[in-house]
C-alpha cells in the first residue's frame, strides 16, 4: 500500500460542461418499503451520458464538498472510460432494516436465492435485545450454512460493541461493519474482537474520510466496504481497492437501478470478491426507473447498463421544487469539481 498520507482530490477523467449534465436530467423520488437510515423516500438525479444512464444521488444532508465526489462518479460512469469486467453476475446479500423480528421472513423473501443477510443494528431508539432478536431471526431464515453480517453505522462505543458482539456470538457473524466511529476505535475493537472470530469491516471510515486509505494503513479493519458514488466512481474506487490491499465488499447507497449498475460494474472489475456484495437493494423500493430493475435472481444481479423507462421516470418525478433543488446541487458540485481541477 502507498505510504502517501494525503489522497489526491477526487476528480473524474474530464469534466463535461454543466449544460450536458442538466440537459434532459430527471429527478425522481422512489418510496422505500421500509424506512432505512431514516429515509422513507429516496431522491436521485438521473442523466444520460455518452456511455448510457448515470446517477447523482448524494444524501440530502451532505454538503457540496462531499456531494462533488458523487458527481465525479456520475461523470465517470456516464462520460469516462469503462473498466474491463471479469464477471457477468455478482453475488449479493439481502439487506434487513431495523425492523421487529417478526417482520424478518417477509422482508428476506424479497431476495430470492440470497444466502447472506446484512442486518442493521444499533438504530437510535432500539435496544440490544431488539438487535439480538433480529439477528436471530436472520440466522434462522438462512440456516446454518447461510451468512449473517451486521452494520452498526458507527453507533456504538468500543465497550458497547464488545458487549453486542458477545451477545451475537451464538449466531456466528460473518463480520461487523463500522461498529464504532473512529479509526483508533476500529483498531482497538479489531484487537478485542479477534478472539471472538468476528472480522471488522470499515465503511464510513473509507467513504466519508479525507483519506480513504487511512483505515487500511492503520491496520484497523479486516475488510473494506466500497461504494462507487461516494468514492468518486468506478475508476477512483478501483484505485483505492488496489492500494488498500484488503478484501472488499462493494455496496450501494440506496441507489436506483442506475446507480446499482455503477456498483455492479465496479464489483465486476475487482479480480477477487470473497464476500457477497450489498447491491441487491433495488428490492427495497416499491418502484424503480426501469422495466428490468437490478433485482436479485438466484442470489445475484447482472452486470449491465440499465435502460430507463420514460413512463416510469414521469411516474416517479419529484415535485418541481425538489427538481430545482437538485439542479442547484449539481451546479454547486460542478463548480467544486472545476475548482479542484484548477488547483
Q: Which residues are catalytic?
A: 120, 227
173-177 and 200-202: which strand pairing? parallel
203 annotated binding-site participant: yes
Q: Which three cell numbers stand for residue 187?
A: 483498531
Query: What's the CA gap between 224 and 266, in Å, rounded?
Result: 14
Enclosing H/E stretch for 267:
helix 257-268
Q: 304: closest CA among 339, 262, 336, 251?
A: 262
177 annotated binding-site participant: yes
Query: What's the CA gap between 104 and 138, in Å, rounded?
Result: 7
**Phi, psi (deg, nearest 5) at residue 220:** -95, 0
114, 146 in Cβ contact below 8 A?
no
Q: Strand, coil or helix: what is 11?
A: coil
307, 263 in Cβ contact below 8 A?
no
Q: Which residues pair with 246 in a beta bridge?
A: none
* Residue numbers belonging to the annotated binding site: 151, 177, 203
* Residue numbers belonging to the annotated binding site for Mg(2+): 151, 177, 203
Amino acid at each position: 500500500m502507498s505510504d502517501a498520507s494525503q489522497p489526491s482530490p477526487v476528480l473524474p477523467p474530464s469534466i463535461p460542461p454543466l449544460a450536458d449534465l442538466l440537459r434532459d436530467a430527471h429527478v425522481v423520488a422512489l418510496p422505500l418499503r421500509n424506512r432505512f437510515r431514516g429515509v422513507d423516500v429516496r431522491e436521485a438525479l438521473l442523466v444520460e451520458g455518452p456511455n448510457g444512464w448515470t446517477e447523482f444521488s448524494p444524501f440530502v444532508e451532505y454538503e457540496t464538498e462531499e456531494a462533488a465526489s458523487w458527481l465525479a462518479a456520475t461523470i465517470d460512469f456516464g462520460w469516462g472510460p469503462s473498466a474491463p469486467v471479469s464477471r457477468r453476475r455478482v453475488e449479493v446479500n439481502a439487506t434487513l432494516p431495523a425492523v421487529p423480528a417478526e417482520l424478518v421472513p417477509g422482508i428476506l423473501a424479497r431476495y430470492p436465492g440470497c444466502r447472506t443477510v446484512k442486518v442493521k443494528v444499533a438504530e437510535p431508539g432500539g435496544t440490544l435485545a431488539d438487535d439480538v432478536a433480529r439477528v436471530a431471526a436472520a440466522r434462522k431464515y438462512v440456516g446454518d450454512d447461510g451468512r449473517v453480517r451486521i452494520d452498526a453505522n458507527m453507533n456504538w462505543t468500543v465497550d458497547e460493541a464488545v458487549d453486542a458482539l458477545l451477545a451475537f456470538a451464538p449466531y456466528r457473524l460473518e463480520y461487523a461493519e463500522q461498529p464504532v466511529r473512529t479509526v483508533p476505535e476500529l483498531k482497538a475493537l479489531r484487537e478485542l474482537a479477534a478472539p471472538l472470530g468476528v472480522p471488522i469491516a470499515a465503511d464510513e471510515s473509507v467513504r466519508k474520510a479525507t483519506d480513504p486509505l487511512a483505515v487500511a494503513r492503520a491496520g484497523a479493519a479486516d475488510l473494506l466496504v466500497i461504494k462507487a458514488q461516494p468514492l468518486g466512481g468506478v475508476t477512483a474506487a478501483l484505485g483505492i481497492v488496489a492500494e488498500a490491499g484488503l478484501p472488499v465488499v462493494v455496496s450501494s447507497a440506496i441507489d436506483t437501478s442506475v446507480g446499482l449498475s455503477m456498483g455492479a460494474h465496479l464489483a465486476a472489475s475487482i479480480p477477487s470478491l470473497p464476500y457477497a456484495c450489498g447491491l441487491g437493494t433495488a428490492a427495497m423500493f416499491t418502484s424503480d426507473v426501469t422495466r428490468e430493475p437490478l433485482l436479485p435472481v438466484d442470489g445475484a444481479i447482472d452486470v449491465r447498463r440499465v435502460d430507463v423507462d420514460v413512463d416510469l421516470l414521469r411516474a416517479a418525478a419529484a415535485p418541481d421544487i425538489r427538481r430545482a433543488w437538485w439542479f442547484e446541487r449539481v451546479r454547486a458540485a460542478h463548480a467544486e469539481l472545476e475548482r479542484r481541477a484548477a488547483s
